Amino acid sequence: MKRVLAVFLLAATSLFGQSTKREVFPADYKPSPCAPDSATMCASFDRTRLARYATAFRTYDIEGEWLDAHWDEMGTVFAPLCTKMGSCYTVPGNDPIFCVDIMRDDFLNSCDRFPAGSHDFDQCKKFAMTYFLGLGLKTDTFNAAQACGKAAQPANAELRTMEAWIDQEHLPVDFDGDLIVSAYDSETHIPIRAGYTIDAGELISSEGPSATGGYAAEWKSKLKRVPNAEGHRDAVPPAMTLQFPGYQPLTLTLPIATPKMIVELSPAASALKRGKNTLTVTVRDSITGKPVEARVMAGDRPLGPTNKPLELELERGEKVPEIWVTSLYDRYSDVVAAKQGRTIK
């Protein structure tokens, strides 16, 4: 039991403390007929040992009087949570730690039945966490549920579909922090431990270039550059691709508000003449309004940096080139300040 507890003490800390606006395991899920019963899934430390383990592993002080008074009550509250874990056990490809971990916040939030800050609330939080840690891996139960779940799938069944989301509705363009990705079966709403990759930026996880839904993965954002109809390149949010055995891959665009360059050319292209011309391309960020450091191009020739006077020499018979701006850091889409114009006389 001590080995199992150590695993769960580690697993519990790997989840995000931040809650999502969308339920990870919604109440409208479709229970699996292969799910173990609630009593089996809810087996944890017994009443006589729970307080001792709470002190040993979390330095919690749970009062025996409180435990006796609320044991049956909390057992009733925990039962539907354990039933959910049982259905999660039956999905081929899930694993037992994942199925327990995703219920951690639900166990703790069950203490909201008591007034926040009250003695009962404090005792309940300590009790719920200790009870959760004592659930154990239940390897034999999991293996049986997996076998049943696999046998229930018809041969040559079509790939199923998933729904997925991240824990934040909007990400800044310079995001550098933890993401949590959640996914569940589109029909049953039972969570699946889908793996994912992101096609731009730097994803840092213990699994290398990919990560697993339900657990912390650090991502340092970067926009990706794609060709556009004008022959230039746009900076667009990266895409996340999720995969799980037996399911169609799912691709999501990350919710990043992409800034744009607001560009002003002075003098206007119509005023350019033969010989040396001095021009300035003023550029600012559409979101912050701050000046943007970028490169000014005349056709395929670099002229120099934005927001500074630049020199453009034009000869007789030469067309006024397209004046455009490109970001050196892949932060903005290219912007055309002036299209190719008349022939210089």
Domain ranges for the chain, please list them: 2-152, 162-253, 261-338
What the block records as the tokens of 148 is 């049943």
End-to-end CA distance of the chain: 89
Q: What is the mean pLDDT of residues 256-265?
A: 96
Q: Of residues 137 and 229, which shows the higher confidence score?
A: 229
Nearest to 180 by CA among 28, 8, 9, 14: 14
- Which pTM value belongs to this model? 0.84
Identify the residue whose tokens are 């809810």: 42
Integer-rounded Cα Rg, in Å, for the chain is 29
CA distance 19 to 316: 66
Q: How confident is the model at residue 157, as a pLDDT? A: 83
43-86 pLDDT per residue, tens: 999 999 999 999 988 889 999 999 999 999 999 999 999 999 99
CA distance 183 to 250: 10
CA distance 338 to 270: 9
Indicate the pairing of strand 335-338 with strand 323-326: antiparallel
| Cβ within 8 Å of residue 274, ≥6 positions away | 314, 315, 316, 344, 345
* CATH annotation of 162-253: 2.60.40
142-179 pLDDT per residue, tens: 999 999 999 998 888 899 999 999 999 999 999 999 99
